[in-house]
Structure 1
């Protein structure tokens, strides 16, 4: 396991320079639409597109994974993570205490070659489900609060993250909640079926993302307000360094439509609490240079976001606190 000894970086200075001199590209993705969840359902925290662009698939608060079937049909049931789940008890629930019964999937990642959908569930760990959906199969359990997942299409290794060793999703809404720094980046090897701890001592969780050339993994620290780079190959293999400081709380990272670029969902004013939460998507390249910011403050008023997923030139934005996925286009 790598120790978290961050090396000096020029990326923060460059980030500050861009902020001060206002060189962000903004004002794009101004057209807004909603993919509305079924009545009474909330919490589309994550989304993913399947082989041939099907979907999006999304996770919701009542433990299901839903699939978008177009504006005429809308979202339909696709998969679930808990073997104890029943539609009568769980459908439409917003009670986080029902998570151990109904499940709470929080992140998705497709392998388009195999058609398998990998799932990080806050209560049931790392799972996968096949192209026909249904009850997911658990690959690894015993975690407190899994929040992110990413599959390597070549090696089929699965990188995933947990937010804490001490608290789960139910604790985050309790009065006086204080986040800790016990988060981890982990890797599941499908050949050995073993889980390895790559990084520990992370300040809050978020969704990791593998670089296009598979040389490193980016890991957000939600409460640490930064993104780390964990090297997979080369002279720095198995070490981590500071990649980018973020002015707000970064959540899931996803690869952008352009080679070597990423999007991260950022909510400013979330932790520590502020009177107003402002959410935005930040696009950056593999060198940590910020290329664009897009504000979602108008449509996600005082709400945190967890995901900015680009697909076919559109941005799909997910939040734990809405009953829709926001779709932004030019």
Structure 2
């Protein structure tokens, strides 16, 4: 029965992604990063609802203040950042290994600490105010992480779940990794109460997005190269086991839980165009329930064209998105 359900889910996604049945996201506002920066790959909001906070291609994290002020610099993941060397870097530069590249972001809702999955520095914690930066897990701590990617924070316990996309490739080798069959990625857990990091699931095909359930009973992790979402049980009779949560008609990137315990998944479906005789990307947002029910699919083609979307999330009833290629984050007219 489960296999048949998975077939139905996959078929449904293919139909929605390729036809006009999915709703189209309608642009409301673009939140422009300071020029020439790009890549607000993930978005986060602080304890008071401030933000969004986004990472950028030159290693800095910015906070959106408002329409007049726009984004202001909040922090950087490099503790000894050289502004002359780093400011204005483009993505996939060799210098990002020195300047940092923040990807996944998430706040501890109890302490106000901002946790960052930095592609080169690993798991990083930024104290409230953006001044104090701690490298928790990564190269500076003698760990061999090479490409840290997605992140989520349990709102009750403060436990951080994050992904290492690969131990064989670095962020600068992104295109090579995409074309590989690499399965060296992992889902990890960091417990700030014990300062311990453990591996929850290994042998993953470029794990990207991650999201923990509101009750902390399970965590979802997407495998970009395997076109699927896996669920790792943390509590209950299935604790410490994993299962296929959902196959997808495309590559999943970030996953974000909303206030109704639903999950938004950024999916980039690659289809062969018989007209243009080439592969075309269709960026979409897919909202699913904890029970694997597809609740909504939103096309992002009007905003990103055939470029990839890295994240879509519903925060306080407003739909936001981010992209590794874009120079802005986006707010959409409410479609929820």
1:18 CA displacement? 3.7
Paired with 2:51 and 2:24, the residues of 1 have a C-alpha distance of 24
Given candidates 109, 130, 133, the residue that maps to 2:106 is: 109
Cα 1:87–1:288 change in 2 (3 A) is: same
Paired with 1:219 and 1:175, the residues of 2 have a C-alpha distance of 18
1:301 CA displacement? 1.3
Cα 1:174–1:31 change in 2 (3 A) is: closer
Q: 1:194-213 alignment to 2 at 5 Å?
A: 194-213=196-215
1:19 CA displacement? 4.5
Given candidates 9, 12, 20, the residue that maps to 1:15 is: 9
Cross-structure match for 2:39: 43
Cα 1:96–1:177 change in 2 (3 A) is: farther
Give the TM-score, by structure 2 length. 0.89
Cross-structure match for 1:4: none
Give the TM-score, by structure 1 length. 0.91
Paired with 1:223 and 1:231, the residues of 2 have a C-alpha distance of 22
Cross-structure match for 1:3: none
Cross-structure match for 1:66: 62
Q: Is the contact made by 2:40 and 2:56 (CA closer than 8 Å) also made in structure 1?
A: yes
Cross-structure match for 1:313: 317
Paired with 2:243 and 2:281, the residues of 1 have a C-alpha distance of 28
Per mean C-alpha deviation after superposition, the further-off stretch among 262-271 and 297-306 is 262-271
- Flag as ranges the 4+ runs of structure 1 deviating above 3 A: 7-11, 16-26, 173-177
Paired with 1:21 and 1:68, the residues of 2 have a C-alpha distance of 37
1:27 CA displacement? 2.4
Q: CA RMSD in A?
A: 2.4
Given candidates 91, 97, 100, the residue that maps to 2:97 is: 100
Q: Is the contact made by 2:209 and 2:252 (CA closer than 8 Å) also made in structure 1?
A: no
Q: 1:175-194 alignment to 2 at 5 Å?
A: 177-194=179-196
Paired with 1:109 and 1:24, the residues of 2 have a C-alpha distance of 34
Per mean C-alpha deviation after superposition, the further-off stretch among 247-256 and 146-155 is 146-155
Q: Is the contact made by 1:216 and 1:230 (CA closer than 8 Å) also made in structure 2?
A: yes
Number of matched residues?
Answer: 322
Cα 1:9–1:135 change in 2 (3 A) is: farther
- 5+ residue gaps, structure 2, are none
